[in-house]
Chain A
C-alpha cells in the first residue's frame, strides 16, 4: 500500500493561496456588483431629479398663470366698479325719478285744468258784465 505524503508547509501555503485568490475574486466581484448597483441608483436618482425639476417647472407655470388670471380678474372688477361709479354719478344728471315725473306731470296737468277753469270764469264774468 502506497501512501501519499503531503508536507505541512507547502499544503498550508497552497491552501492560503487558494483562499487569498478566492477572497480576491469575491472582493472584485462584490466591488463590481456594488458599483453597478451604485450606477443604477445614480441613474434612477438622476431621472427622478429630472422629473422633479420638470414638475416644479410645471407647477410654477401653473401658479404664474393662476396669479396672472387673478390679477386680470381683479382688474376687471376694478374697471366694472369704476364704470358703475361713473354711472352713479351720471344718473341724477341724465335721468328723472319716476316718482318725480309722475308728481310733476300730474301737478302741471291739474294746474292747466285750474287755469282753463279760471279763463272760463273770466269769460263768463266778462259776458255778464257786457
Chain B
C-alpha cells in the first residue's frame, strides 16, 4: 500500500542529507535547505523541514545548532556523510535511492 505522506517525508530527509552533503564542509542554514527542498517539493514548509531535521538529528546523521536568534544551522555528522556517500547501509526511514552508478 503506497503512503504518499511517508514517501514525501522520507524523500525530504534524503534531500536534506544531499543538500548538507553538498554544503560541506561549512554546513547550511535552514533557509538554504528549505529553498533547495522547495526546488523539488514546491509546497514544502519550514515546519516540515524542521521536523525532518530534528528526526535526522535524533538518528545522529545531522548536527543541529539552534541559534538564540531562532535560526537553525545544520551540518552532516560522520554517519550522515557515510549515508550520503553510500558507504553505509541505510536503515528504513530515509528514501535513499539504490546506487545506480
Contact = CB atoms under 8 A, between A and B. Distances in A.
Interface residues of B, number: 14
B39 A103 contact: yes
B100 A102 contact: no
B32 A99 contact: yes
Contacts of A41: none
Given A110-B15, A110-B40, A103 B35 contact: yes
Ordered nearest first, which 9 A-B pairs have the shortest CB separation?
A107-B39, A113-B97, A103-B36, A106-B19, A102-B22, A105-B22, A116-B100, A102-B23, A106-B18
13 contacts: A99-B28, A102-B19, A102-B32, A103-B19, A103-B35, A105-B22, A106-B18, A106-B36, A107-B36, A109-B18, A110-B40, A113-B97, A116-B97
Interface of B: 15, 18-19, 22-23, 26, 28, 32, 35-36, 39-40, 97, 100
